Copies of this chain bind each other. A is one copy, B any other.
Amino acid sequence: MNATLGFAVIGAGRIGALHARHLAGAVEGARLVRVVDPDRVAAERAAVAGAGFSDALDDALSDPAVDAVLIASPTKEHAWQLEAAAGAGKAIFCEKPVADDLAETVRAMEAVEGAGVPFQIGFNRRFDPAYAEVARAVRAGEIGKVELFRSQSSDPGPAPEAYIAASAGFFRDSVIHDIDAARFVAGEVERVTALGRVLVDPVYAKYGDVDTSVITLEFVSGALGVLMNSRRTVYGHDLRLEVHGEAGKLVAEDERATKVWRYGPGGPRGDYYHHFLDRFRDAYRLEVQAFVDAVHAGHAPEPGAVDAVESLRVADAAVRSLHEGRPVRVEEVTP
């Protein structure tokens, strides 16, 4: 391993290009070595700060300057790229999800664990400064035993139909962030009950999906939780995290994009984020920084393989609960 962790970014789309820029400068202890994308023009454009580029993953895996790969390709490519990178002994940061399917996810994670390479899954919300602080404070015992958990997320508007058609569905693609936050803060989930509706855009019904949901969680610890999700909040991204414990409550809220209040004829008014890349700008950088720090320190990065598998398992349980109209135990869901 090089003193400064050399990265190949795999996939030069919007998220890959963002990671490449961060690695070129904003992440300490790392540098951008290469960008790989079948679209060489995109790869070149993302290869900032003098990094190389190519259209072949092998070029990156055989480059001794590459210590780590950051996989930001389309989901269906993740599994084989993970296995190849693991085989080449590279440290791996992979955008979520590993795969849309639990069995494929488990297989890929087994390959990674078999190779013994460091692995981190891109549940970036764990690195949002507010979410991270809530989790830290809960673990530090600031509110005692957790009793009630709530996570809420809404996007400004529904996705385009092409995205919906290709996605693994609202629960596995979007609500999984709230599920992972729940596991992060309150521990493993025992049972799930899901309610879902198509209230925002009828196109979701066409794909057997929902756009509005309420999911209750029963944690192994005995705590109760609620996830509330929608595909439409006209005022911008609306994310809240609440943890109620025996000795107090922690809330990550106040999603205003700036610290400015505007006082006009209608009263004081704040402004929200309208694009998730703005909302999660810090989180996208900090998650990679944490990965780099863990690799340098020789610790297992987190969230890791178990989180990739278990958060998807809870999402699968929610899908089953929605379809069958009953509470579903997470252990019922097997690969």
Contact = CB atoms under 8 A, between A and B. Distances in A.
Interface residues of A, number: 73
A195 B224 contact: yes
A234 interface: yes
Interface in A48-77: 49
A316 interface: no
A61 to B, nearest CB: 25
A224 B251 contact: no
Nearest to A225: B214
A251 to B, nearest CB: 5
A244 B154 contact: yes
Copies in the complex: 4
Contacts of A233: 244, 249, 263
A234 B265 contact: yes
A177 interface: no
A317 to B, nearest CB: 15
A276 interface: no
Contacts of A244: 154, 228, 230, 233
Given A130-B260, A251-B268, A267-B269, 17 more contacts: A25-B25, A25-B27, A133-B258, A137-B262, A197-B222, A213-B224, A226-B226, A230-B244, A235-B267, A248-B262, A248-B263, A248-B265, A251-B260, A251-B263, A267-B270, A267-B271, A267-B272
